[in-house]
Amino acid sequence: MQVEQFYYDNRIVKRFAYATALWGIVGMIAGLWVAIQFYAPGAALNFAPTTFGRLRPVHTNAVIFAFVGNCIFTGVYYSLQRLCKARMFSDKLSNIHFWGWQGIIVAAALTLLLGYTTGKEYAELEWPIDIAITLVWVVFGINLFGTIIKRRERHLYVAIWFYIATWVTVAMLHIVNSFEIPVSFLKSYSWYAGVQDALVQWWYGHNAVAFFLTTPILGLMYYFLPKAANRPVYSYRLSIIHFWALIFIYIWAGPHHLLYTALPDWAQSLGTVFSLMLIAPSWGGMLNGLFTLRGAWDKVREDPVLKFFVVAVTCYGMSTFEGPMMSLKSVNAISHFTDWTIAHVHIGGLGWNGFMAFGMLYWLIPRMWGTSLYSKKLATNHFWLGTIGIVIYAVPLYWAGFTQAQMWKTFTEEGQLKFQFLETVTHIVPMYVTRSIGGTLYLIGAFIMIYNLAKTIAKGSFIANEAAEAAPLQKETGHVREYWHRWIERKPMTLLVFSLIVVAIGGALEMVPTFLVKSNVPTIASVKPYTPLELQGRDIYVREGCYTCHSQMVRPFRDEVARYGEYSKAGEFVYDHPFQWGSKRTGPDLAREGGKYPDSWHYNHMMDPRIMSPGSIMPSYSWLLDNKIDTASTPAKIRAMQTLGVPYPKGFDQVANQDLLLQANGIRISLKMDKIETPKDAEIVALIAYLQRLGKDIKASSVAQSPN
């Protein structure tokens, strides 16, 4: 058989590897910055783009899509070529993919800092960027499948299945969750409202974790761990079961982010059941990784790459055990809205994703530069700094989360809530300080890696095109009847279709009934659309990322009803495009904020929260006092809402601004009575109008019903 000569493209791998390191540092610095703001609110610099609400999405998006994203592409572009014994399908597409993705990252960072956001976690990017992501993702797909099709290896190794599942599922998630109606070039409203928006968002959010932070990294594990250990994976059979079980079960688990909320109960239970089932495939994968090292643990002592992989896989095991536990309603009642969740995701983020990325870079760079690692000792130091950093990061936050939940739920003997919300925050500030020390250690480790890798690169010489040879694929002439699964795994397109069917099932089964069955969202007659001023105020609320610290979801617990008021009902959110339930309570819940405080309280509180609540860690929002409401956008916003089914009267868009100014004037007068002078078109007026509206509709209905 004629053996063909060809070259692997290392240049694209190098680019993605550099981008991984760069964005890793950027994402971690953003993370450290927001962590410091928890105990030093002045670190927000009294400047809109650097406040927590805007910087936190920059941190999460940078770490997920820039750091881990580029890490995935580094690993995929390296391993795919070798597993297929073929160069990438097109160098041009590789480059478009690379530069396109980096362009998206820069655009994302800029728009998020400037306050352009959809207000949906991990999907904050506005519609033009969403479209760009779709296009670049298609380019990646063509390149991926093009390479697979021209491969010289008959079988598709399991790592490639994970890459295919990643590609198809991320495409589906991104498109379904990003349905939004553009209002202007950088502003849109989610197509879905309230409960439905929440379900779609957390179906997306959870599966972004599953199919962006887990499946592609598992693919990398199945390639790089055997490579680094120089032995095949422990059980290939297990890897096949692992693959199908994982992608099927994962897609269902999203509703566990919405336990005890206004989401229909059956959907919550479905999320819990599938989350528990997830332990099986997750641990199957973890054990498959760890058992690969059976009889080779002596190598782990020597090799920093294996050290990183072992801790990464162990952290994967820990967080995939913890996740299902947190999906139990009784545990979730404590963990949800607290720092417990933050600790949980950082075991995954710092441990699993970060350490897989570091291990892979330490393994790849010396090989692509034809040399050995500059310093094993430095790499080992990085490993220990990182590991200790993770512990110092996570343990205080577990403590903080548990402590705060207990304090929220404590009643005095007289049956009163024992602690003010603010007391539960100031109590855990020392934990926040410790957490940021852990994060700093982790960041220092990453800098050491960059130094070590730069030194390695300096002493080697880059092999841009690595020579290889392999025989082309022969048409199979076997007469033996093939098993059908082999037929699937040899045909990438079939694999793609099957994975799509599998992941689409979960989504359809959860979403279709929630959308269709009207009894899932009982309508409340007194719930009315937002006034134009409130709508503008709500957009300011979304812009400033208030949802990153404040929930709008009172769960049906004694303490929450006592603290915030009547628990939230599904019917209250029917006009919320997007929903703003939030996922973390660094500040108190705002679902029943309306009418709790006078307008002047909100004015002073936004100017400097510490005037009204001494010890508060909320940033100041002084610019809201000066900025003018963008009234020019009101008609377009009203029309967009009408398109989405919000029942404003016909032609209301033309008179909306009159209505807006009338209501604004009322707030101006109310502020003036408290000796505060403000123009009626200041942004603070719109925000006050929105905050004073929150949760009031349902109170109106109870007043109306009380004579009965």
Partner 1 sequence: MKFIHYLEKITGVSIYPLLSFAIFGLFFLAMLIWVLKADKKTIYDISRIPLD
Judged by the rule CB under 8 A, the positions of this chain that interact with partner 1 are 79, 82-83, 153, 155, 157-159, 179, 191-192, 196, 222-223, 226-227, 230-233, 236-237, 240-241, 244-245, 248, 483-486, 498, 501-502, 504-505, 508-509, 512-513, 515-516, 643-645
Q: Select 302 or 482, whichever has its Cβ closest to partner 1.
A: 482
Least distance from partner 1 to the Cβ atom of residue 649, Å: 17
Concatenated DSSP letters for 174-185? HHHHT-EEEEET
Please state the closest distance from residue 422 (CB atom) to partner 1, in A: 40
- Beta strands 187-190 and 465-470 are unpaired
B/e letters for 358-382, b = 16+ CB within 10 Å, e = fewer, are bbbbbbbbbbbbebebbbeebbebb
CB of residue 639 vs partner 1: minimum separation in angstroms? 11
Q: Can you state the percent helix, strand and coil of the chain, rounding each to 5?
A: 70, 5, 30
Q: Which is nearer to partner 1, 5 or 483 (CB)?
A: 483
3 state DSSP class of 682: strand
Please state, in angstroms and as integers, the Cα–Cα distance from residue 290 to each residue in 105, 238, 250, 350, 382, following that order.
Answer: 34, 13, 22, 19, 21
Q: Work out how close the CB of 468 gets to partner 1 at its nearest, in angstroms, rounded to a whole number.
A: 11
Which single residue is written with the structure tokens 């390191």?
A: 21
For 273-296, the DSSP string reads: HHHHHTHHHHHHHHHHHHHTTTT-
Name the residue nearer to partner 1 (CB basis): 512 or 669. Answer: 512
Cα-flanking dihedrals φ and ψ of residue 83, to 5°?
-70, -25
**Measured from the CB atom, is 455 or 490 closer to partner 1?**
490
Q: Which residues are CB-neighbours of 158 under 8 A, at least 6 positions away?
A: 219, 222, 233, 236, 239, 240, 243
Q: Which residues contact 679 (CB under 8 A, 6 or more apart)?
A: 628, 668, 685
* CB of 237 or CB of 675, closer to partner 1: 237
- Reading the block at residue 370, the tokens are 């034809």
Task: Specify the residue, 6 or 597, whose C-beta has the smaller distance to partner 1.
Answer: 6
Query: Read out DSSP for 188-203?
Result: EEESS-HHHHHHHHHH
**Among 368, 371, 315, residue whose Cα is nearest residue 346:** 315
> What is the smallest separation between the CB atom of 9 and partner 1, expressed in angstroms?
18
Q: Which residues of 499-529 are buried (b: 16+ CB within 10 A; e: fewer)?
A: bbebbeebbeebbeebeeeeebbeebebbeb
Instruction: Give the span between the Cα atoms of 650 and 396, in whole angstroms.
Output: 55
62/233 with CB nearer partner 1: 233
The Cα angle at residue 620 between residues 615 and 622, in degrees rounded to 5: 145
CA distance 332 to 104: 35
| Structure token digits, residue 9 | 């493209």
Indicate the residue type of 360. M
Nearer to partner 1, 170 or 220 (CB): 220
Token digits for 278? Answer: 């997830």
Minimal distance, residue 413 CB to partner 1, in Å: 49
Which residues lie closer than 8 Å to 680 by C-beta, 6 or more apart?
661, 664, 665, 667, 668
When the beta carbons of 427 and 491 are compared against partner 1, the nearer one is 491
Q: How far apart, in whole angstroms, are the C-alpha atoms of residue 135 and residue 128?
A: 11
Closer CB to partner 1, 404 or 514, in the complex = 514
Tell me whether residue 38 or residue 192 sits nearer to partner 1 (CB atom).
192
Shortest spacing between CB 81 and partner 1, in angstroms: 12
As given in the structure block, the two tokens for residue 291 are 């058992």
Strand-pair partners of 8: 466
Residue 5 DSSP SS3: strand
User: Toward partner 1, which CB reaches closer, 143 or 196?
Assistant: 196
CB of 680 to partner 1, least distance (A): 33
Q: Name the residue nearer to partner 1 (CB basis): 513 or 666.
A: 513
In the bound complex, what is the minimum distance in angstroms from residue 417's beta carbon to partner 1? 40
Q: How far is the CB of 404 from partner 1 (least distance, A)?
A: 37
Give the other-Cβ count within 10 Å of 335's Cβ.
22
The minimum distance between CB 234 and partner 1, in angstroms, equals: 9
Q: What is the distance between the terminal CA atoms of the chain, rounded to a whole angstrom?
A: 90
Closer of 230 and 708 to partner 1 (Cβ)? 230
Closest contact distance (angstroms) between CB of 216 and partner 1 is: 16
Task: Name the minimum Å distance from CB 150 to partner 1.
Answer: 17
Choose between 458 and 497: whose C-beta lies nearer to partner 1.
497
* DSSP for 422-479, written as a single string: HHHHHTTHHHHHHHHHHHHHHHHHHHHHHHHHHHHHHHS---SEEEEEEPPPPPP---
Q: How far is the CB of 176 from partner 1 (least distance, A)?
A: 11
State in angstroms the smallest separation of the CB of 501 from partner 1: 7
CB of 508 to partner 1, least distance (A): 5
Question: How far is the CA of 306 from the CAs of 373, 401, 612, in angstroms?
Answer: 14, 32, 53
Chain-centroid distance of CA 535 in Å reads: 26
Closer residue to partner 1, CB minimum distance, 3 or 516: 516
